[in-house]
Chain A
Amino acid sequence: MEIQRVPLRLVTPLPDAVTEPVSVEQLFRAHARYVAAIAHRLLGRGDDVDDVVQEVFLSAVEGLGRLRDRDAVKGWLATVTVRTARRKLRLRRFWAFLGADEGHDYEAVASNGASPEDRALLARVYAVLDRIGVEQRLAWVLRHVEGEKLERVAELTGCSLATAKRRIAAAEQAIEGVLGHE
Chain B
Amino acid sequence: MSDLARRMEELRSKVDVGWDDERARRVERGMVSRRARRRRLRVAGGAVVVVAIVLFALFAPRRANAPQAKIPALPQATTQATAQADERAVRTSDGSRVELLGERTELRPVEDAPARVEWELLRGRARFDVTPRTSRLFRVRAGKVAVEVLGTAFVVARDETSTEVTVERGRVRVIAPTGEKQLSAGESARFEEPVPVPTASNEPVPLPSASVSHAAGSRPSAVATPHSSAWRELAERGDYDGAWGLLRDHRGGATNPAELLLEADVARLSRHPAEAVAPLRELLTRFPGDSRAPLAAFTLGRVLLDDLGRPREAAEAFARARAFAPEGALAEDALAREVEAWSRAGDTSTARARAEEYERLHPEGRRLRSVRRFGGLE
Identify the A interface with B (CB < 8 A): 1, 24-25, 28-29, 32-33, 36-37, 39-41, 46-51, 53-54, 57-58, 95, 98-100, 102-103, 108-122, 124-125, 127, 130-131, 144-145, 147, 172, 175-176, 178-182
Return chain A residues, CB-CB under 8 Å to B16. 37, 40, 111
Return chain B residues, CB-CB under 8 Å to A114. 11, 14
Report whether A39 and B17 are in contact in the complex, using a CB–CB cutoff of 8 Å.
yes
In the bound complex, CA of A47 to CA of B11 (Å): 23
Pick the contact of A50: B30, B258, B299 (CB < 8 A).
B30
Report whether A51 and B5 are in contact in the complex, using a CB–CB cutoff of 8 Å.
no
Question: With A37-B17, A100-B73, A113-B235 given, can you name 19 additional A-B contacts, CB distance below 8 Å?
Answer: A32-B27, A40-B17, A47-B111, A47-B115, A50-B23, A50-B114, A54-B30, A99-B75, A100-B75, A108-B18, A112-B18, A113-B14, A118-B14, A119-B14, A144-B5, A172-B4, A182-B3, A182-B7, A182-B329
Report whether A48 and B38 are in contact in the complex, using a CB–CB cutoff of 8 Å.
no
What is the minimal beta-carbon distance from B265 to any residue of chain A, in angstroms?
Answer: 5
In the bound complex, CA of A124 to CA of B7 (Å): 13
In the bound complex, CA of A117 to CA of B290 (Å): 13
What is the minimal beta-carbon distance from B83 to any residue of chain A, in angstroms?
Answer: 18
Return chain B residues, CB-CB under 8 Å to A47. 111, 113-116
Q: Count of chain B residues with Cβ under 8 Å from any Cβ of A?
A: 60
Return chain A residues, CB-CB under 8 Å to B292. 116-117
Most buried by B among A39, A102, A108: A102
Return chain B residues, CB-CB under 8 Å to A111. 13-18, 238
Q: How many A-B residue pairs have CB under 8 A?
A: 159
Report whether A144 and B262 are in contact in the complex, using a CB–CB cutoff of 8 Å.
no
Return chain A residues, CB-CB under 8 Å to B333. 127
Pick the contact of B329: A24, A49, A57, A124 (CB < 8 A).
A124
| Residue of chain A at shortest CB distance from B109 | A100
In the bound complex, CA of A24 to CA of B328 (Å): 47
In the bound complex, CA of A163 to CA of B236 (Å): 39
Report whether B38 and A1 are in contact in the complex, using a CB–CB cutoff of 8 Å.
yes
Report whether A116 and B238 are in contact in the complex, using a CB–CB cutoff of 8 Å.
no
Secondary structure dominating the interface of B:
helix
B43 at the interface (CB under 8 A from A): no
What is the minimal beta-carbon distance from B1 to any residue of chain A, in angstroms?
Answer: 10
In the bound complex, CA of A144 to CA of B2 (Å): 11
What is the minimal beta-carbon distance from B368 to any residue of chain A, in angstroms?
Answer: 9
Return chain B residues, CB-CB under 8 Å to A51. 113-115
Return chain A residues, CB-CB under 8 Å to B92. none
Report whether A179 and B4 are in contact in the complex, using a CB–CB cutoff of 8 Å.
yes
B31 at the interface (CB under 8 A from A): yes
| Residue of chain A at shortest CB distance from B371 | A102
What is the minimal beta-carbon distance from B259 to any residue of chain A, in angstroms?
Answer: 10
In the bound complex, CA of A118 to CA of B12 (Å): 11
26 contacts between A and B (CB under 8 A): A1-B38, A25-B28, A33-B19, A47-B114, A51-B115, A58-B34, A99-B369, A108-B18, A110-B11, A110-B14, A111-B16, A111-B17, A112-B240, A112-B269, A113-B236, A116-B261, A116-B262, A116-B264, A117-B292, A122-B11, A122-B14, A127-B333, A130-B366, A172-B2, A182-B3, A182-B4
